[in-house]
Structure 1
Amino acid sequence: MEEEEATADGEESPFTAETYAAEAMAADMDPWIVFDSRRTPRSEFDSWLESNRPSQVCRFGDEEGGVSPVGWIAVLGMNHCPSSGDSTGLQESWEKLLASGRPVSFQTVKELALNHGVLTGKWLMHLDSGFKLDHAWECVARAALDGKISLVKVSPHNPKAGGKQVICAYNQNFTEENEVIRLDSVIRATGVKCALSYKPDVYTHLGIYRNNRWKLCPTIYESKFDLECVPRRSHIVNKVTNLEVT
């Protein structure tokens, strides 16, 4: 499920960060349904989208029907390149940091991420399963197909997750604020208006989820779409500094 713990931010959640981390790892390990726009003809996209609507694909499959579990549904953009960071080294440095007793803060984690090149991050959209989710997914999936986003993925329907599913849209470097803001405007331009929250992948690697013992907020930006102002735009707040960045 990823942090992405399919509850929207602000809702109290009964589980520990460790539970979420274990669920995220399980989803990553299960087979994914992937449309790779670098290899698959664009003409096949519409029927792929139609037959893999996220509200209709079951996370745990159907053993009797011979349908295997699905971890994620994803679209790889033309410019997608697999993240190249050293996650093993990151893990070792993290263990050392914890053993040293030094306080864990956003800055110490960011330092580790820079040292080991684990810099990707994603905007998260938590939506109720159903038409709205499928529509939002189609919007960002098409943006990936058009080369505007390098990777988007959506969690399949999980009856245990309280009816919420999560869409993730990725960028290369969470430390480049302009890049994070630019990805938000790409998502907004597709017509997505729900609240977004942004999480660096280093948090996912290190198990920094909701209810973590370091009391770190699991997301570092949030974006709310302002329907009142003209032209319409997002208000993005940096959760580390509590300052608006747009």
Structure 2
Amino acid sequence: MSDHDDDGSEPFLAQRDLAAEAMAADMDPWVIFDGRKTPRAEFDDWLDSNRPSRVFRHGELDHNAEPVGWIAVYGPASSPAPQRGDAEGLQEDWERLLSSGRLVTFETVKELALNRRVLSGKWLMHLDTGFKVDHAWGSIARAVLDGRVPAAKVSPYCPSSDAKHVICVPGDNFTDESQVVRLDAAIRAVGIKCPLSYKPDAYTYLGLYRGNRWKLCPTIYESRYDLECIPRRSRITSKVTMTELT
């Protein structure tokens, strides 16, 4: 699902636009290196041929002629598919919640997600096109093949948009803070120092993007790498409680 989020405020129309872009990206073809099927020896050539800054979201004659939704890497031990839980049931529960007039908060959304086992999420990093995203993506993709990171995907280049590329690293359970912290540590261990934000997949399924009418922050954790601390480490903050996890 699409994960182009930040904390800025935008009109509700923009929220619907982001949801539409999410669906379109998921439905368009993906460029995938699957370490469960493809020899590692082919990876470097694949990575060089599919740098995010040179793969065009909507196709371009001198590069990829067809649209590309995402570029993704799966490692030898990656799960066959993310555990979606009952996403359709979650959406039905959401509609009932809205009809009931109950207050919409993080806790009410979490309750729905737990009931339907829609617990997956992802750390997101937003990067400028060019060397920055290509370098970071290469580091993350290699970590996936080495088994240090479960899987990853990156958005291709979209010259008609000012949006940055986004790299997504999935986690199994957004309610498990220890897992969220461990996944952040695995990402930092490959040299990633840019800010990260964590979004539950339940938010994506329910169309909770920036500027939503309930004023929910579209991400629930923020990670900033502290270059002045010795030893250097991430400072992870809950965007829900505004408390530090690390």
TM-score for both structures, normalised by structure 2: 0.94
Q: Deviations over 1:178-215 (max 9, x none)?
A: 00010111111100100101101000000000001111
Contact 1:87/1:118 (CA < 8 Å) preserved in 2?
Answer: yes
Q: Deviations over 1:67-119 (max 9, x none)?
A: 11000000112232312311111111111111111111111111111111111
Equivalence for 2:126: 126
Match of 1:40 among 35, 38, 41: 38
Equivalence for 2:105: 105
Equivalence for 2:223: 223
Q: Deviations over 1:191-241 (max 9, x none)?
A: 010010110100000000000111100000000001111110001000000
Q: Secondary structure of the equivalent of 1:49?
A: helix
What is the correspondence of 1:54-203 to structure 2 with a 5 Å cutoff? 54-62=52-60, 67-77=65-75, 78-84=77-83, 85-162=85-162, 164-203=164-203
**Larger CA deviation: 36-45 vs 124-133:** 36-45
Contact 2:25/2:70 (CA < 8 Å) preserved in 1?
Answer: yes
**Larger CA deviation: 163-172 vs 78-87:** 78-87
Q: 1-side partners of 2:81 and 2:127: how far apart?
A: 26
Structure 1 outlier segments of 4+, above 2 Å: 9-16, 62-66
Q: CA deviation at 1:18?
A: 1.2
Q: 2-side partners of 1:221 and 1:65: how far apart?
A: 36
Q: Secondary structure of the equivalent of 2:198?
A: strand
- What is the letter of the counterpart of residue 26 of structure 2? D
CA distance 1:12–1:81, shift in 2 (3 Å): same
Q: 1-side partners of 2:183 and 2:200: how far apart?
A: 13
**Larger CA deviation: 85-94 vs 236-245:** 85-94
Contact 2:122/2:170 (CA < 8 Å) preserved in 1?
Answer: yes
Q: CA deviation at 1:13?
A: 4.7
Alignment root-mean-square deviation, CA = 1.7
**Larger CA deviation: 57-66 vs 195-204:** 57-66
Q: Secondary structure of the equivalent of 1:46?
A: helix
Contact 2:123/2:169 (CA < 8 Å) preserved in 1?
Answer: yes
CA distance 1:82–1:220, shift in 2 (3 Å): same
Q: Secondary structure of the equivalent of 1:16?
A: helix
Q: Deviations over 1:123-154 (max 9, x none)?
A: 11001101011000011111111112222000
Q: 1-side partners of 2:107 and 2:141: how far apart?
A: 33
Q: What is the aligned residue count?
A: 243
Q: Secondary structure of the equivalent of 2:53?
A: coil
- What is the letter of the counterpart of residue 148 of structure 2? K
Q: 2-side partners of 1:66 and 1:193: how far apart?
A: 30
**Larger CA deviation: 66-75 vs 176-185:** 66-75
Q: In percent, how many aligned pairs have the same letter? A: 61
TM-score for both structures, normalised by structure 1: 0.94
CA distance 1:174–1:89, shift in 2 (3 Å): same
Q: CA deviation at 1:63?
A: 6.6
* Contiguous gaps of at least 5 residues in structure 2: none
